């Protein structure tokens, strides 16, 4: 009795230049796979959903493809790669609008169009960087130097913010609320060091040492240093306020996870718990940090008005006194604008890492 001809389960995904098909058949040998007149023909003996049988299917593609499919056999499946003739995004795989019953999205490889474009740009950047490094010297040597440099930078920042976080935690456990009021005099020197060193992070992004976008890094650098050096550093009246504790504590809580994650990334280590913390803790901590910064600015306004520090008189004929508190009120708006920009950037990072895979895609 001849084997029954059946259709296997087929899963697909795409990039701008390629199509990926995964045929759920095990123990396949010498499959017949070809493309004629833009139709993929598949026929093979293998073990599928209906046991050991001959399975076959035909797919007419939505747009033109190159007639040379490449396939790879594994013990459990057949992986087929088809090159598109024109690099573009397809709204579906097949010419017919109704999806065949045996065809489904491959969520293990699926990306939406924007993510695929980012992947394509990343590959192009990687290719250009490789060419640049090959022209400048040994790629492996330069990569190792870059990783070593970034590892040391992240290690120093991790140790600095860890010292601040542990110091504030221990003092709070021992002294309670009394520890709030001398936070600045206790840890300010270390915070000055860490925040001045953070300039390196923005420079790294600007010159291409890291792939981080420059704007979010620059916003965080300028915003924190304004609070640290102007609001706290120049006004002794602010240094004894409890808000300093909350600002420093939230900053350090964010950074100890961020820098430890980057540090392990430099040595190709992926600790899932730390990765989850790095991409999740910012959700409550960043808004709380911005709220603490805003409170510090609001508390400093009457002090700047009273002392007249950084206020100035416009030249003749205006002769109007411009109070520094006017700029602080503008800065309050900028704090939450900066929060939106950084929140959006971090949300995109988290979505790329833990994005929703399961959505209806045809």
Contact 106, 346 (CB under 8 A): no
- Give me the pLDDT at residue 337, please: 87
Q: What tens digit of pLDDT does each residue of 103-152 get?
A: 999 988 888 877 777 877 888 788 777 777 666 655 677 788 889 999 99
> Which residues of the chain are modeled with pLDDT < 50?
1-2, 357-362
Which one of the listed residues 11, 201, 293, 331 is annotated catalytic?
293
DSSP 26: B
Full-model pTM: 0.58
Residues 6+ apart with CB under 8 A from 187: 163, 164, 167, 168, 248
Question: What pLDDT is recorded for position 318?
Answer: 75
Residue 360 has what pLDDT? 44
CB 61 within 8 Å of CB 40: yes
293 as an active site residue: the answer is: yes
Nearest in space to 279 (alpha carbons), one of 291, 267, 262, 294: 262
Contacts of 48 (CB under 8 A, 6+ apart): 6, 8, 9, 24, 25, 26, 55
Model pLDDT, residue 5: 65
pLDDT at 172: 95
Annotated catalytic residue 286: yes
**Helix boundaries (H) for the chain:** 113-136, 139-175, 183-197, 199-207, 214-225, 236-239, 243-266, 272-278, 282-307, 324-354
d(Cα 115, Cα 212) in Å, to the nearest integer? 16
- pLDDT score, position 129: 75
Rounded distance between C-alpha atoms, residue 22 and residue 79, angstroms = 5
Domain 10-111, what architecture? Sandwich (2.60)
Query: Could you give the CA distance from residue 272 to residue 261 in angstroms, rounded to a whole number?
Result: 10
**What is the domain partition of the chain in residue ranges?**
10-111, 144-354
Residue for token pair 């002090």? 303
Q: Could you give the CA distance from residue 275 to residue 297 in angstroms, rounded to a whole number?
A: 33
Residue 290 φ/ψ, nearest 5 degrees: -65, -35
The two tokens of residue 314 are 């416009």
Assigned token pair, 82? 């088809």
Q: How far is CA 355 from CA 89, 171, 217, in A?
A: 20, 40, 23
Of the candidates 167, 319, 181, 154, the residue with the CA atom closest to the CA atom of residue 243: 181
- Ramachandran region, residue 329 (left: φ > 0; alpha: ψ -120 to 50; beta: rest): alpha
- What digits encode the pLDDT tens for the residues 311-354? 888 787 777 888 898 999 999 998 888 888 888 888 888 888 77
Out of 286, 316, 340, 354, which one is annotated catalytic? 286
Torsion of the alpha carbons at 171, 177, 181 and 185, rounded to the nearest 10: 0
């Amino acid at each position: 009795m001849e084997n029954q001809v059946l259709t296997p389960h087929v899963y697909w995904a795409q990039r701008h230049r390629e199509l990926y098909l995964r045929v759920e058949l095990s123990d396949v040998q010498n499959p017949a796979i070809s493309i004629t007149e833009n139709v993929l023909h598949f026929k093979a003996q293998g073990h599928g959903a209906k046991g050991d049988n001959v399975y076959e299917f035909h797919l007419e593609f939505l747009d033109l493809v190159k007639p040379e499919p490449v396939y790879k056999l594994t013990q459990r499946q057949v992986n087929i790669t088809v090159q598109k003739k024109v690099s573009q995004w397809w709204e579906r795989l097949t010419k017919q609008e109704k999806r065949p019953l045996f065809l489904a999205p491959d969520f293990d490889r699926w990306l939406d169009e924007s993510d695929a474009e980012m992947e394509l740009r990343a590959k192009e950047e990687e290719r250009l960087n490789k060419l640049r490094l090959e022209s400048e010297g040994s790629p492996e040597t330069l990569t190792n130097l870059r990783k070593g440099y970034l590892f040391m930078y992240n290690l120093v920042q991790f140790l600095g913010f860890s010292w601040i976080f542990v110091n504030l935690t221990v003092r709070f456990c021992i002294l309670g609320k009394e520890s709030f009021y001398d936070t600045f005099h206790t840890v300010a020197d270390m915070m000055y060091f860490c925040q001045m060193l953070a300039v390196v992070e923005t420079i790294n992004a600007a010159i291409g040492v890291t792939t981080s976008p420059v704007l979010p890094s620059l916003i965080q650098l300028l915003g924190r240093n304004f609070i640290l050096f102007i609001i706290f550093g120049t006004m002794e009246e602010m240094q004894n306020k409890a808000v300093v504790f909350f600002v420093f504590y939230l900053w350090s809580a964010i950074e100890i996870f961020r820098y430890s994650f980057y540090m392990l990334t430099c040595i190709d280590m992926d600790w899932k718990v730390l990765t989850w913390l790095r991409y999740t803790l910012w959700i409550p901590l960043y808004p709380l940090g911005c709220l603490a910064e805003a409170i510090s600015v609001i508390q400093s306004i009457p002090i700047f008005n009273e002392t007249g520090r950084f206020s100035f008189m416009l030249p003749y004929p205006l002769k109007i006194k411009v109070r520094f508190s006017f700029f602080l009120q503008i800065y309050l708006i900028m704090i939450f604008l900066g929060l939106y920009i950084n929140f959006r950037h971090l949300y995109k990072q988290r979505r790329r890492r833990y994005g929703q895979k399961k959505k209806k895609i045809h």
